[in-house]
Amino acid sequence: MDFTEDQIQRYSRHILLQDVGVEGQEKINKGKVLIVGAGGLGAPIALYLAAAGVGTIGIIDGDVVDLSNLQRQIIHFTPDVNKPKVISAKEKLNLINPDVNVITYQELLTAENAERIIRDYDFVVDGTDNFPVKFLINDACVIAKKPFSHGGILRFDGQTLTYVPGSACYRCLFHSPPPPNAVPTCSQAGVLGAIAGMLGTIQAAEVLKYLTGVGDLLTNRLLTFNAKTMEFRTIKSKPNNNCPVCGSHPTVTGLVDYEQAVCDIESHRKQK
């Protein structure tokens, strides 16, 4: 593809990079990335990927913007309160970069729709706030052989890993979802707003690395950090032969919707 003068200006700082260059930028422009959740993580992920020129960005989220979201979900602004998050997000992405084709899904990712939705994308990013959907994304991507980035934040902590077919998946490390209400979610426990940006931008960088083929992905590694001590750790992992979805005798062979914590469902209902 030939870049226009505007595109040369817009993407000049990528083109300058030896590892990205014209060829890498073309790969970014051809990339198709699905972001699950237009919240704390999805906001910086979507903003950076649109700014980078990712050609097609899908965003799925069934919620509307709530005033309590604005402390960290930086893609949504005060006048967006009560607007569907995917619409609010699409408006900002179109403003940042009109080159990007933004596809919105105003619904929750479920066992019923996951396979159909992720099929069209090169890479999936988990920007969700609950375990049932995190496991659903993992299982759907492992079964469909689709690379994805897992990310989770709570209070002052964040963790992320990248999966490509053959590497350790989320279930290799975390066997199954915790019982409902065993682990508080952000909406119950709180979260320092800025750590959504810290983790989300790491995930966005992983997407760009995947699309361009630059560097070493966060595969077979779990990155964790705590913002109070500002210490980052990388824990090595490997594919688990006993993993229920990617091990040698998988017990998870289809998708299921795990039970959500009751207060999460109620908060979703309240917002509708």
Partner 1 sequence: MANYKLDITKEHCPMTFVKTKIELSKLKSGDILEVLLSEGEPLENVPRSSTEQGFKVLSITEAAVKGTHLVQIQK
Give me the residues that bind partner 1 (CB under 8 A), please: 3, 8-9, 12-13, 15-16, 18, 21-23
Residues 55, 7: Cα–Cα separation, whole Å: 13
Q: How far is the CB of 31 from partner 1 (least distance, A)?
A: 18
Place of tokens 């619904």: 107
Q: Are 129 and 85 in contact (CB under 8 A)?
A: no
User: Which ranges in 31-130 belong to alpha helices (H)?
Assistant: 42-52, 85-96, 114-118
Q: For residue 238, which amino acid is it?
A: K
Residues 214, 216: Cα–Cα separation, whole Å: 7
Cβ distance to partner 1 smaller for residue 13 or 175: 13
Residues 161, 115: Cα–Cα separation, whole Å: 21
Q: How far is the CB of 5 from partner 1 (least distance, A)?
A: 10
Angle (nearest 5°) at CA 124 between 256 and 255: 10
Cβ distance to partner 1 smaller for residue 8 or 235: 8
Q: How far is the CB of 259 from partner 1 (least distance, A)?
A: 52
Cβ distance to partner 1 smaller for residue 66 or 99: 99
Structure tokens at 229: 């001590």
Q: How far is the CB of 53 from partner 1 (least distance, A)?
A: 15
Q: How far is the CB of 110 from partner 1 (least distance, A)?
A: 43
All residues at 6 or more sequence positions from 133 whose CB lies less than 8 Å from its CB, including other chains: 36, 37, 108, 109, 126
Cβ distance to partner 1 smaller for residue 9 or 188: 9
Cβ distance to partner 1 smaller for residue 28 or 60: 28
